[in-house]
C-alpha cells in the first residue's frame, strides 16, 4: 500500500510521518551558532533529501558522459537517464507528450525563452500583454524588455487588500490588442493561489495564449497542465527538493513548434552549413548545448521522492502548517499578516509594529531561524501594501509544528528586545 494511503486510512493520525521525513534531509541536523536550524525560507529554495543527493552521486560515479553525442555505453546511459527524467516531469504535470517538456536552467530562463521564442516572433507594436500585480520580477521584466523593443503595452491586473486578484478587472483589460497573458499560479510574496483555470478559459475564449509561472505552486500541489489547459507552465527544480540550475518549460506542442529558437548552438540544429542551418524538432530545438544533465537527473529523482509521499498528502499537511502558523501568530499583539487570501499555500508574510524586517530577520537568525526579509522580487506587491519589505516565513512538508512554535517565541523575543 502506498505510504499516502496507509497514512490517510488511520483516522486521527498525522497524515505525514514528520520525523521520518525530516530524517531524510541531512541539512536539517545543522546547528546555527549552537541552535538547531529552523529553515523557513522554502519559497526561496528547498532542501534536498538524501535519496536525491545519492542519485546525483550515482550518476556522476557510474553514468556520466555527454548526451546525444556518442554510441558508447556511458553516453547512451546518460541520454537514457536524461530522457527518463523528462518523462518523469511529463507525468508529474500530466502533459500529453514528453516533447512538450523543455529542460531549462530554471523558471526565469523558461520565461525568457517564451518571451523570446514566442514574444519576439508574434508580438508587435500596439499589442498588449496582461500581467498581474502579484508577479515575481521574472514574469515582469522579460515582458517589459519585449514591450519596449516592440512598442507593445503592459496591462496589470490589480489586487485587493487580502492580496487576491480582482478578476472583474482582469476581464475588463481584454481588448482587440490583447495578445498574451502571464499569470503567477501562486504569489511568492503572499502565498495567494490564483484561479488560473478560469482565467485561462477567459483568455482562450478570446484566442489569447497564457503562460503560468508555477514556481511557487508546483512544490505544494498536484499540477495537471491538460486540465488547466495553459499554453505554457514553468517551474524550477530547486524549489521541489531538486538541485539548482534546472527547471522546465511546459508548452503545447503546436505552440512550441511555431516558436523561434532561443539560444543557438549544438543539439538544437538538424543540419548546419554556413549557407543555411535548419533547426531540430522539439524539445531539442530549445535545448542548445550540453544541458545540466546531472541536475536534470536530480530533478527527476526529486519528483520520484515527492510522488512517493504524494502531492495531496503534502498539500494537506502544509495546509495544517499554515493554519497553525496563522493562528499562533495572530495571538501576538503588534503583528500584521500581509496577504490574507482565502486560498493560500504555506507562506506567511508579516510586519511587526515599529520593528523593521531586517532587524527581525537578523535577530531570528541568531535563534537559528531562517526567514527572508525584503521585497521578495515582488516590488509591485510591496508597493500595494505600502511597505518596503516584509518578513516572510515559507513552509515545506519537512517543517514541523514545533518549528512554528520556535518562530512564534522568537518573534516575541525580538519584540521584547525592542520594547
Partner 1 sequence: MNTKSLYQEVVLDHNRNPRNYGSLDNANRTAEGDNPLCGDHLNIKINLSKGRINDISFQGESCAICKASASMMTTKVKGKTQEDAETLIQEFRDMTIGKLELDSNHHLGHLTVFSGVRELPTRVKCAVLPWHTLHAALNSVATVSTEADDDPMHVSIGNA
Can you give the binding site for partner 1, defined by CB under 8 A?
Answer: 33, 44, 355-359, 362-363, 365-366, 372-377, 387-389, 417-418
Q: Which of 91, 230, 241, 377 does the annotation list as catalytic?
A: 377
CB of 165 to partner 1, least distance (A): 22
What are the respective helix, strand and coil percentages of the chain, to the nearest 5? 45, 20, 40
CB of 311 to partner 1, least distance (A): 25
- Cα separation of 45 and 239, whole Å? 5
Pick between residue 110 and residue 389 the one whose CB is nearest to partner 1: 389
Pick between residue 41 and residue 403 the one whose CB is nearest to partner 1: 41
Q: How many other CB atoms are there within 10 angstroms of residue 169's CB atom? A: 15
- Cα separation of 182 and 149, whole Å? 18
Pick between residue 340 and residue 366 the one whose CB is nearest to partner 1: 366
Q: Would you say 85 and 323 are in contact if contact means Cβ atoms under 8 Å apart?
A: no
CB of 373 to partner 1, least distance (A): 8
Largest Cα–Cα separation, the chain: 74
- For residue 122, give Cα distances in angstroms to 86, 102, 153, 156: 28, 20, 14, 20
CB of 374 to partner 1, least distance (A): 4
Phi, psi of 274 (to 5 degrees): -70, -15
Q: Is 377 a catalytic residue?
A: yes
CB of 39 to partner 1, least distance (A): 15
Pick between residue 129 and residue 134 the one whose CB is nearest to partner 1: 134
Q: Whose CA is closest to 299, among 23, 149, 93?
A: 93
Could you tell me the end-to-end alpha-carbon distance of the chain, in angstroms, rounded to an integer? 54
Reduced to 3 states (helix: H, G, I; strand: E, B; else coil), residue 131 is: strand
- Cα separation of 81 and 291, whole Å? 13
CB of 110 to partner 1, least distance (A): 18
Pick between residue 326 and residue 365 the one whose CB is nearest to partner 1: 365
- Cα separation of 94 and 303, whole Å? 13
H helix runs in 206-355, sequence order: 225-228, 253-258, 293-309, 311-330
Pick between residue 86 and residue 136 the one whose CB is nearest to partner 1: 136
Which helix or strand (DSSP H or E) is residue 269 part of? Answer: strand 269-272
| Residues identified as active-site | 377
Amino acid at each position: 500500500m502506498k505510504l499516502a494511503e496507509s497514512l490517510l486510512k488511520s483516522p486521527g493520525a498525522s497524515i505525514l510521518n514528520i520525523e521520518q521525513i525530516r530524517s531524510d534531509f541531512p541539512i536539517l541536523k545543522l546547528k546555527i551558532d549552537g541552535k538547531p536550524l529552523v529553515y523557513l525560507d522554502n519559497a526561496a529554495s528547498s532542501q534536498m533529501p538524501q535519496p536525491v543527493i545519492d542519485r546525483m552521486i550515482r550518476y556522476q560515479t557510474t553514468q556520466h558522459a555527454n548526451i546525444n553525442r556518442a554510441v558508447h555505453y556511458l553516453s547512451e546511459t546518460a541520454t537514457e537517464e536524461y530522457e527518463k527524467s523528462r518523462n518523469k516531469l511529463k507525468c508529474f504535470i500530466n502533459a500529453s507528450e514528453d516533447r512538450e517538456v523543455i529542460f531549462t536552467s530554471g523558471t526565469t530562463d523558461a520565461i525568457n525563452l517564451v518571451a523570446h521564442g514566442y514574444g519576439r516572433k508574434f508580438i508587435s507594436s500596439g499589442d498588449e500583454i496582461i500581467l498581474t500585480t502579484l508577479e515575481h520580477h521574472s514574469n515582469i521584466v522579460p515582458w517589459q524588455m519585449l514591450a519596449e523593443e516592440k512598442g507593445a503595452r503592459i496591462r496589470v491586473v490589480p489586487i485587493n487588500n487580502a492580496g487576491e486578484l480582482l478578476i472583474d478587472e482582469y476581464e475588463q483589460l481584454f481588448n482587440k490588442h490583447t495578445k498574451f497573458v502571464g499569470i503567477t499560479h501562486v504569489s511568492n510574496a503572499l502565498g495567494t493561489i490564483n484561479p488560473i483555470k478560469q482565467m485561462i478559459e477567459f483568455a482562450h475564449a478570446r484566442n489569447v495564449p497564457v503562460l503560468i509561472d508555477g514556481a511557487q505552486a508546483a512544490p505544494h500541489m498536484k499540477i495537471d497542465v491538460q486540465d488547466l489547459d495553459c499554453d505554457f507552465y514553468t517551474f524550477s527544480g530547486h524549489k521541489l527538493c531538486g538541485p539548482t540550475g534546472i527547471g522546465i518549460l511546459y508548452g503545447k506542442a503546436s505552440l512550441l513548434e511555431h516558436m523561434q529558437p532561443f539560444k543557438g548552438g549544438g543539439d538544437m540544429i538538424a543540419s548546419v552549413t554556413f549557407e543555411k542551418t535548419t533547426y531540430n524538432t522539439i524539445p531539442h530545438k530549445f535545448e542548445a548545448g550540453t544541458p545540466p544533465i546531472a541536475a536534470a537527473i536530480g530533478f527527476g529523482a526529486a519528483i520520484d521522492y515527492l510522488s512517493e509521499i504524494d502531492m495531496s498528502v503534502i498539500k494537506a499537511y502544509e495546509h495544517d502548517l499554515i493554519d497553525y502558523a496563522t493562528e499562533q501568530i495572530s495571538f501576538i499583539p503588534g503583528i500584521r499578516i500581509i496577504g490574507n487570501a482565502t486560498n493560500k499555500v504555506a507562506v506567511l508574510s508579516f510586519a511587526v509594529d515599529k520593528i523593521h524586517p531586517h532587524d527581525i530577520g537578523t535577530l531570528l537568525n541568531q535563534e537559528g531561524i531562517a526567514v527572508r526579509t525584503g521585497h521578495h522580487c515582488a516590488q509591485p506587491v510591496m508597493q500595494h501594501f505600502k511597505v518596503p519589505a516584509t518578513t516572510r516565513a515559507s513552509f515545506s512538508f519537512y517543517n514541523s509544528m514545533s518549528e512554528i512554535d520556535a518562530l512564534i517565541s522568537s518573534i516575541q523575543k525580538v519584540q521584547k528586545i525592542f520594547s
